[in-house]
Amino acid sequence: MMLAIYDIKYMKTRRKKIRIFRWLILAFILYILYSAYSVYAYSKVDETRQADAAIILGAGAGARKPSPVFEERIRHGIWLYENGYVEKLIFTGGQAEGNDYSDASVARDYAIEHGVAPENILIEEKSRITWENLIYASKIVQEQGMQEVLIVSDPLHMRRAMLMAENCQLQAYSSPTQTTRYITRQTKVPFWIRESFFYMGFRFYNMIPEWRGENTVVFSP
């Protein structure tokens, strides 16, 4: 009799745990879908307006030439400059292993060749990833006494970049590139998935104070 009662309690407890586990799995799947939708929806947001500077996020360079993805970002930054949206361009990106020049210096030379005055170009050459791009760029913004900036990157990269910009206490607005190398399904979908998981990862990272460095502040959804 006692064994039967124990078996019943055990089965009820087990079923309850299974139900909780299923709800957790469902919640996680819904969060993944929400994040993916958020990344995609934000790629359509264009807040281009007049600002003190545009921060162009690095995307690789080699042999004194920007990568195709980086070139599109640089060209958009130049367009903003030529059309009077910004007075300064801030190029980001350090020197990758095996390269003789930093991404930012390659971008600077490209911009000068296309008519941007050297005195209107600022660079940071320490960063390796998007998060560092914005940390070091935000220091330049503070040093220069700037108030508002535009963030330039590929559309699907903007959601994560803008969250990071907010954590760096930047008064920033999104200005996604009008042209991008991520056009076909074969290139766009993998990049979208990648950005969705990186966005989720940064949100989790941002929730744990011990993981955040001195350059970040608490994110308020």
pLDDT in tens, 44-96: 999 999 999 999 998 877 777 888 889 999 999 999 999 999 999 999 998 87
Tell me, what's the pLDDT at 54?
A: 97
pTM over 0.85? The answer is no
Helices 68-82/103-113 angle, 10° precision: 50
pLDDT in tens, 141-196: 999 999 999 999 999 999 999 999 998 999 999 999 977 656 556 667 787 788 88
Structure tokens that stand for 154 in this block: 């590929």
CATH class, range 53-181? alpha beta
pLDDT in tens, 83-109: 999 999 999 998 877 777 899 999 999
Name which residue leads in pLDDT, 142 or 201.
142
Tell me, what's the pLDDT at 180?
A: 65
d(C-alpha 106, C-alpha 60), whole Å: 10
Helix (H, G, I), strand (E, B) or coil at 9: helix
Q: What is the mean pLDDT of residues 113-127?
A: 94
d(C-alpha 207, C-alpha 165), whole Å: 16
